[in-house]
Structures are given as C-alpha cells and as structure tokens.
C-alpha cells in the first residue's frame, strides 16, 4: 500500500502534467482524446448530454469543445479539429446538434436581406480582419450563414464532411448526436417521423417555407 506521501506526490505530478499539457503535443491529450463540435445554444448542456466534464467545473479536462451557431462544419471548426487531431492527441470527434435550434428559425436569404436593408454590402465583407485573404465569392453570403432545413440531416452530413475532410486523419472516430431540448435527452440522428414527432427538428416547424440556400452543394 502506498504511503500518503506517495499518493500526494502522484497527485501533484498528475496535476502538473495536466496543467502543462500543451507542452507535450500528442502526449498531452485531453482526458478522453476528444473534440466536440456543438451549438452555442444556452439550452444545450454538453456535460449532461455526453456524460463528460468539459465546462463544469471549469477545466474538467475531458475534451476540447468547439461551439458555434448550429454546431456546423465551418472553416474555423475544421481549423480547430485539424489542430487537435493532428497535434494535440485527439482521436475521436463527437458532433452534437439539437432540436429547437435557432438555426432552424429563419431563412438565411431573409437574414441577409435584413443586413442589406441596414446598409451592409454582403458581397463585400471582410470575414476575418486578421486574414483578409479569406473571402466569400459574391452571392454566397447567405450560404455562409449556415441556417438549416433539418437538424438530423445536417448532423448526418456534418459527420460525413468531417470524416471525408483531408485535414482530419482517417483513423479518427467520428459520430453525430441530437440533443432533444424538449424531453432533455440524447438520441442518434434519424429521419424517422415517429421518433421525431414530439420535437421541433425542421425549419418548416418554425414557419419557414423556402428551403435554405444550399450550403452543401
């Protein structure tokens, strides 16, 4: 049996390694070697949904967590996934999107029109002031907004996009999940109408009649 002195020393050493992780490249991976892509929505408790500790208590250490509007695949999501999978020891990616998502609540073309009405030239936008080389082709702003028609379809396609991306190593395990805000539970993405009947999963359920600008095509 170890002495208390030995146990304490092991804890101190473990904490020291935890705190200095990024000095060690792939040897300093987070607890679960995991990258999570998820929506910024305040009703999506990622720790509860996945049974891990990312956000609470602060510094739980189980995963790198990337949140954006919708939890969709964007250039910055790919940038972050590329870094953690190739250089920080991550071997698994989990995508979590959710019912009642604000990204279902309007058509992106209408949102673009609002901005244009406010005087914004959406065909001449500097997306990233630190990287002006990153630009959108004229006419593609509404695609860039990334609104969804259907959260389950978007989740499935997000998983495929990550799996097929050349910056993500082939051996990374990728899965996608839906957090149902209404009953507060996790499920796999599905197009089964019966299984989705109690939740809002499509833009049509928000009264959006037109399909979104085709981001994927």
Which residues contact Zn ion by CB under 5 A? 39, 41, 101
Q: Which is nearer to Zn ion, 39 or 63 (CB)?
A: 39
Secondary element (H or E) of residue 34: strand 34-39
182: its two tokens = 């209404």
Residue 70 beta carbon to Zn ion: minimum distance, rounded to whole angstroms: 5
Q: Which is nearer to Zn ion, 41 or 180 (CB)?
A: 41
Residue 22 beta carbon to Zn ion: minimum distance, rounded to whole angstroms: 29
Residue 25 beta carbon to Zn ion: minimum distance, rounded to whole angstroms: 33
Residue 91 beta carbon to Zn ion: minimum distance, rounded to whole angstroms: 26
Residue 54 beta carbon to Zn ion: minimum distance, rounded to whole angstroms: 17
Q: Which is nearer to Zn ion, 29 or 145 (CB)?
A: 145
Q: Which residues of 194-213 are buried (b: 16+ CB within 10 A; e: fewer)?
A: eebeebbbbbeeeebeeebb
Q: Which is nearer to Zn ion, 13 or 110 (CB)?
A: 110
Q: Which is nearer to Zn ion, 6 or 76 (CB)?
A: 76
Backbone angles phi, psi at 134, to 5 degrees: -80, 110
Kindly state the DSSP code that residue 215 receives in the 8-state scheme: T
CA dist., res. 196 & res. 130, Å (int): 42
Can you say whether the dihedral through the CA atoms of 15, 35, 186, 74 is positive or negative?
A: positive
Name residues whose C-beta falls within 8 Å of residue 57's C-beta, 6 or more positions apart in sequence.
none
CA dist., res. 95 & res. 163, Å (int): 11
Q: Which is nearer to Zn ion, 101 or 155 (CB)?
A: 101
Residue 55 beta carbon to Zn ion: minimum distance, rounded to whole angstroms: 16
CA dist., res. 7 & res. 10, Å (int): 5
Name residues whose C-beta falls within 8 Å of residue 131's C-beta, 6 or more positions apart in sequence.
none
């Amino acid at each position: 049996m170890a002495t208390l002195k030995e146990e304490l020393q092991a804890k101190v050493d473990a904490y020291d390694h935890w705190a200095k992780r990024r000095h060690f490249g792939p040897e300093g991976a987070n607890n679960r070697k995991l990258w999570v892509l998820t929506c910024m929505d305040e009703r999506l408790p990622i720790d509860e949904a996945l049974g891990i500790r990312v956000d609470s208590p602060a510094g739980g250490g189980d995963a790198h967590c990337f949140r954006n509007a919708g939890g969709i695949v964007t250039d910055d999501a790919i940038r972050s996934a590329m870094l953690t999978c190739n250089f920080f020891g991550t071997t698994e990616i989990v995508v979590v999107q959710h019912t009642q998502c604000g990204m279902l609540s309007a058509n992106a073309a209408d949102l673009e029109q609002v901005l244009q009405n406010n005087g914004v030239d959406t065909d001449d936008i500097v997306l990233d002031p630190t990287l002006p080389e990153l630009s959108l082709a004229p006419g593609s702003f509404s695609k860039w907004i990334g609104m969804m028609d259907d959260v389950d379809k978007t989740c499935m396609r997000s998983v495929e996009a990550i799996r097929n991306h050349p910056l993500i190593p082939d051996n990374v395990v990728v899965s996608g999940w839906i957090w149902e805000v209404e009953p507060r539970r996790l499920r796999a993405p599905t197009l089964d109408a019966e299984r989705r009947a109690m939740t809002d999963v499509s833009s049509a359920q928000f009264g959006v009649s037109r399909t979104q600008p085709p981001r994927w095509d």
